[in-house]
């Protein structure tokens, strides 16, 4: 299963990605946690480690990668860059961090002012995800950038399931509707995780969301908030994350029996 975590900026995508990756690892899965957000600075930090080499930088950055693409494409495809398929172990060691039995990789980052658009990062994400061949005990969790760019760039096409994180805001409800349409047109299973849920917002959230697609309600947690405020790794256990794992396991079973 390759599961992409989508949603509005600040809704909690990175937090849910990290907590879900940890919970799946605790259940015995080999997890690859992919930082697919070119703008964030913090996914590794949320796991309490510093950033290893960014995958795109291994190709000489965006410039080097674009040159490799230009060389490859006249011949018809980009297989000569990453091969026709990849396994977890084919990812370059220098780009992969092993933390809490989870492998982590960041696809690409914007480093400098004026360096151009992030399309090559989307391209590389798409190439990696569509080539990754995973074993039955392996799961990939992708922390996407905010909004819907990953749909536009075709990154979602290489995933099996979309989890849209919804926080208590009208913008989040609107985006959830848009993501519902986009996931449907991409032919991908879509679920919602309601995040930062307090008693006083739960009813309003449920009213504005297709309830049948809600797989978990993650409480508003002061521990998560304080870890973030003070720049610590996320240390809290949130039992409701287990509901996300159950759904991923269930979809994984259906997926492998198809």
Ligand X SMILES: Nc1ncnc2c1ncn2[C@@H]1O[C@H](COP(=O)(O)OP(=O)(O)OP(=O)(O)O)[C@@H](O)[C@H]1O
40 in contact with Mg ion (CB under 5 A): yes
Contact with ligand X (CB under 6 A) among 225, 237, 250, 253: 225
Burial 135-160 (b: 16+ CB within 10 A, else e): eeebbbbbbbbbebbbbebebbebbb
6 in contact with ligand X (CB under 6 A): no
Q: With CB cut-offs between 5 and 8 Å by kind, which of ligand X, Mg ion, none does residue 221 bind?
A: ligand X
Nearest-angstrom CA–CA distance, 18 and 20 = 5
Contact with ligand X (CB under 6 A) among 51, 169, 220, 251: 220
6 in contact with Mg ion (CB under 5 A): no
* Closer by beta carbon to ligand X, 87 or else 178: 178
* Closer by beta carbon to Mg ion, 110 or else 206: 110
Q: CB under 6 A: which stretch of 11-19, 126-134, 182-190, 245-253 binds ligand X?
A: 11-19
Query: What kind and span of H or E run contains 120?
Result: helix 119-131
CA-CA-CA-CA torsion for 226, 229, 231, 232, nearest 10 degrees? 0
Q: CB under 6 A: which stretch of 20-28, 104-112, 203-211, 222-230 binds ligand X?
A: 222-230
Contact status, residue 150 vs residue 144, Cβ threshold 8 Å: yes
Contact status, residue 97 vs residue 49, Cβ threshold 8 Å: yes
Residue with tokens 């039955």: 136
Contact with ligand X (CB under 6 A) among 51, 169, 180, 228: 228
Structure tokens given for 113: 């002012």
Site string for Mg ion, 51-70 (x = CB under 5 A): --------------------
Window 82-101: residues binding ligand X (CB under 6 A): none
Contact status, residue 56 vs residue 125, Cβ threshold 8 Å: no
Q: Name the residues that contact ligand X, by CB under 6 A.
A: 7, 9-15, 37, 40, 146, 195-196, 218, 220-221, 224-225, 228
């Amino acid at each position: 299963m390759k599961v992409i975590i989508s949603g509005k900026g600040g809704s909690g995508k990175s937090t849910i990605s990290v907590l879900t990756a940890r919970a799946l690892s605790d259940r015995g899965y080999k997890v690859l946690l992919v930082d697919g957000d070119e703008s964030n600075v913090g996914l590794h930090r949320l796991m309490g480690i510093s950033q290893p080499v960014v995958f795109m930088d291994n190709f000489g950055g965006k410039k080097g990668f674009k040159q490799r693409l230009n060389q490859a494409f006249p011949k018809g495809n980009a297989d000569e860059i990453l091969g026709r398929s990849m396994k977890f172990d084919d990812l370059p060691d220098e780009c992969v961090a092993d933390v809490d039995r989870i492998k982590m990789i960041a696809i690409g980052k914007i480093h400098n002012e004026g360096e151009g658009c992030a399309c090559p990062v989307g391209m590389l994400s798409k190439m990696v995800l569509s080539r990754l061949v995973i074993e039955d005990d392996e799961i990939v969790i992708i922390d996407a950038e905010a909004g819907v760019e990953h749909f536009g760039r075709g990154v979602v096409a290489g995933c099996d399931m979309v989890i849209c994180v919804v926080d208590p805001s009208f913008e989040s409800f609107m985006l959830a509707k848009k993501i519902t349409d986009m996931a449907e047109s991409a032919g991908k299973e879509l679920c919602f995780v309601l995040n930062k849920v307090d008693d006083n917002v739960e009813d309003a959230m449920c009213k504005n969301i297709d309830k049948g697609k809600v797989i978990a309600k993650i409480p508003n947690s002061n521990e998560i908030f304080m870890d973030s405020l003070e720049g610590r790794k996320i240390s809290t256990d949130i039992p409701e994350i287990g509901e996300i794992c159950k759904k991923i396991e269930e979809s994984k079973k259906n997926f492998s029996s198809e």
